[in-house]
Amino acid sequence: MATTAQQLDTAVQLHRAGRLDEAREIYRQVLAREPRHADANNLMGLVARQKGEFTAAIAHLQAAIAADATQAAYVANLAEAYRGMQRLPEAIAAYEQAIRLQPGEAVPHIQLATLLEQTGQLDRAAACYHKATELDPTKPAAWAGLGMLYKHAGQLAPAGDCLRRAIQLYDAAPLHFELGNVCQMQGRLDEAIECYRRALTLQGDFAAAACNLGNALREQGQSEEAVEQLQRAVAMRPDLAAAQSNLGAALQDLGRLDEAQACFERALQSEPRRSEFLLNLGTVFKDKGLVAEALPWYERSLAAQPGYAQALCSRGTALLSLGRFAEGWAGYEHRVGCSQFNTLKFPQPRWDGSPPGERRLLVHCEQGFGDTLQFIRYVPLVRQIDPRAMVAAQTELLPLLEASGFGPLLAKEQPLPPFDVHVPLMSLPHVFGTEVETVPADVPYLHAAPDLVAKWREHLATQPGFRVGIAWQGRRAFRGDALRSMPLARFEPLARVAGVRLFSLQKGPGSEQVAEMGDRFEVIDLASGLDYSGGAFMDTAAVMKSLDLVVTSDTAIAHLAGGLGVRVWVPLSFAPDWRWMYGREDSPWYPTMRLFRQRVLGQWDEVFERMAAELATLVP
């Protein structure tokens, strides 16, 4: 007859092979002879726990501990049985006992940390993970757990460090995915994309990784590949509503609005009251120029989530586009609660327009260069109330703004001096109660440097004809750039007008298209020699003062030309940015500007033919 030790050895081998019923029968035979056998009770408890029979597991494990209270493994197994029954306080107490019995072992600290996380005891959980990394720095679970705690606490740098340590020890898809999340939250998009790609290499059906990869690519302005990855995520998990919604957003970036709408509608079928999905459907209608249809979706989004800042802001810009400025500016103030505008937050109170007295007032510029160039006009109104008001603007714009009389100025990227109250630049229309009829539109309020104007007038005097400066491409990472920008080739009807010469003001992305035109039509490249020494737009402003007309897509160039008071035409999408409003050929912001709107969404040919016909009437 086999001894107890031989029986247990046979049973353990069966147990390890997953033959639980056979192993349990042998454990039962041993316990029939020796009811207090510690190992047999422990092993019987493990089988019961694996089968989900937690009450029986607890009874056997308690019997094992009663027979031998020195074994930390028995107590740890009891803790896991308690966890299985969601008896978390007892599970925590058991792991604490296991650690007292075997303080130098890392695993009980890791397991206790996970229980403490479940019960919201995050500081204690972090201490346990830390202790585990000290006891055994080769345990990836300890580094991963600690990294996730740092992530949820918003401590992204140490979170990334811990997750990288975990990956060095264990190259697993979920770890790369979480590190990608951390990097994306830090704005380190290249590293985030690399992490998501690695996660997908290790686990090809990782839908969440494909979804996040698509989002990161979208943030980088790589909308085409973003769509591909998000389509991949949807194919893996058609029921994943977030992937449907994100795919819709990427398609929207490309101007594929019908497809985007279909994605948002599918997402809402899964989660009909999710505020983000309701908002997204509203934005599609807005981009289609159907503002009346967009507003009810914004309202439904707010009904699902009262106070939802993004919906309040979107509704505000929709109302601004309709000329309902009082309601619109009030709604636009909620952008401060949107993640993309987190630079607007300071602990100091907001300025309400009243004389600040001895309090120091800071006006800080926000968003892009075009936004600053459009709304810097309000600074003189502020200084009528407080001549000492400090103004912080983008470093690159300081030379132009100071040359235009808006100094003294601070560089917003540098440490700011003490201040008591503040106001974002684009909140000033709300502070001053701006209506369509009261927009401060005295132009020019931007000024080119006289020496540069003289230089460029002399240079352009050698170029005969009606001189038209052109720009066509905005920042590609901007949401909706596909709707506002157009290829240089669209300008060919203008080049065909007798006596017209086109001069490129396009810098950066899009400028390569000048060389690609070949013999199709002539565009003289000025941009390659602009703004490299004196500051952003300094040369460009001087060139504009020396041209007969500027024609530009909806970019900072349009605001520069409008602020300079030069003649400027802007071809606009059927549903342009809110500041251009609807149904107008003029702009209350810029008296010298004329707007040429698409009559059919996405159709530029008719717009440029119409401009060419108008241009022919101007050429002598």
Backbone angles phi, psi at 469, to 5 degrees: -85, 140
At 477 the pLDDT is: 67
Q: Is 253 exposed, middle or buried (0-12, 13-18, 19+ CB in 10 A)?
A: buried
At 452 the pLDDT is: 92
Query: E-strand spans in 341-480?
Result: 361-364, 390-393, 410-411, 421-424, 466-471
Give the mean pLDDT of 165-186.
96
- To 10 degrees, what angle do helices 38-50 and 72-84 make? 30
User: How are the residues of the chain apportioned to helix, strand and coil, as percentages rounded to the nearest 5?
Assistant: 60, 5, 30
What range does the domain containing 381 cover?
Answer: 346-438
Indicate the residue among 405, 438, 471 that finishes a domain: 438
Q: Are strands 466-471 and 421-424 parallel, antiparallel or unpaired?
A: unpaired
Q: What is the pLDDT of residues 388-401, one digit of tens each?
A: 999 999 999 999 99
Place of tokens 């998501």: 196
- 333 and 457 both lie in a single domain: no
d(CA 412, CA 392) in angstroms, rounded, equals: 5
**pLDDT-based confidence at 434, cuts 50/70/90?**
very high
Give the mean pLDDT of 342-361.
90
Residue 169 lies in a domain: no
Place of tokens 């020494």: 533
d(CA 538, CA 399) in angstroms, rounded, equals: 7
Residue 10 lies in a domain: no
- 308 and 326 both lie in a single domain: yes
Q: What is the pTM of this model?
A: 0.81
Cis status of the peptide bond prior to 444, with omega within 30 of 0: yes
Residue 522 lies in a domain: yes
Contact 498, 618 (CB under 8 A): no
Q: What is the pLDDT of residues 245-260, one digit of tens each?
A: 999 999 998 889 999 9
d(CA 294, CA 383) in angstroms, rounded, equals: 38
**pLDDT-based confidence at 208, cuts 50/70/90?**
very high
d(CA 359, CA 379) in angstroms, rounded, equals: 17
Contact 374, 589 (CB under 8 A): yes
Angle (CA) 283 510 503, round 5°: 115
**pLDDT-based confidence at 343, cuts 50/70/90?**
low
At 410 the pLDDT is: 96
- What's the token pair of residue 31? 């316990």
d(CA 146, CA 134) in angstroms, rounded, equals: 12
- 565 and 504 both lie in a single domain: yes
- 477 and 612 both lie in a single domain: yes
**pLDDT-based confidence at 549, cuts 50/70/90?**
very high
Indicate the residue among 342, 375, 405 that finishes a domain: 342
Residue 59 lies in a domain: no
Count the Cβ atoms, other than its own, within 10 Å of residue 420. 14
Contact 379, 391 (CB under 8 A): yes
Indicate the residue among 342, 365, 385 that finishes a domain: 342
Give the mean pLDDT of 343-362.
91
- 603, amino acid identity: Q
* pLDDT at residue 483 is higher than 90: no
Residue 586 lies in a domain: yes
What DSSP line would sit under 15-78, residue for residue? HHTT-HHHHHHHHHHHHHH-TT-HHHHHHHHHHHHHTT-HHHHHHHHHHHHHH-TT-HHHHHHH
Contact 538, 452 (CB under 8 A): yes
* pLDDT at residue 177 is higher than 80: yes
- 304 and 375 both lie in a single domain: no
Give the mean pLDDT of 493-517.
91
Dihedral sign of CA atoms 530, 532, 534, 537 in order: positive
- 612 and 585 both lie in a single domain: yes
Place of tokens 């998009």: 189
At 476 the pLDDT is: 72
- 377 and 409 both lie in a single domain: yes
At 469 the pLDDT is: 97
The percent of residues in the chain predicted with pLDDT above 70, rounded, is 99
First vs last C-alpha separation in the chain: 117
d(CA 230, CA 567) in angstroms, rounded, equals: 43
The percent of residues in the chain predicted with pLDDT above 90, rounded, is 85
- 401 and 476 both lie in a single domain: no
- 401 and 520 both lie in a single domain: no
Number of structural domains (the chain) is 3
- 556 and 478 both lie in a single domain: yes
- 611 and 499 both lie in a single domain: yes
* CATH number assigned to the domain comprising residue 457: 3.40.50.2000
Residue 552 lies in a domain: yes
* pLDDT at residue 575 is higher than 90: no
Residue 469 lies in a domain: yes
pLDDT, mean over the chain: 93
Q: What is the pLDDT of residues 251-299, one digit of tens each?
A: 998 889 999 999 999 999 999 999 999 999 999 999 998 999 999 999 9
Q: How many residues does the chain have?
A: 620
Residue 525 lies in a domain: yes
Residues 6+ apart with CB under 8 A from 101: 70, 71, 72, 75
- 323 and 365 both lie in a single domain: no
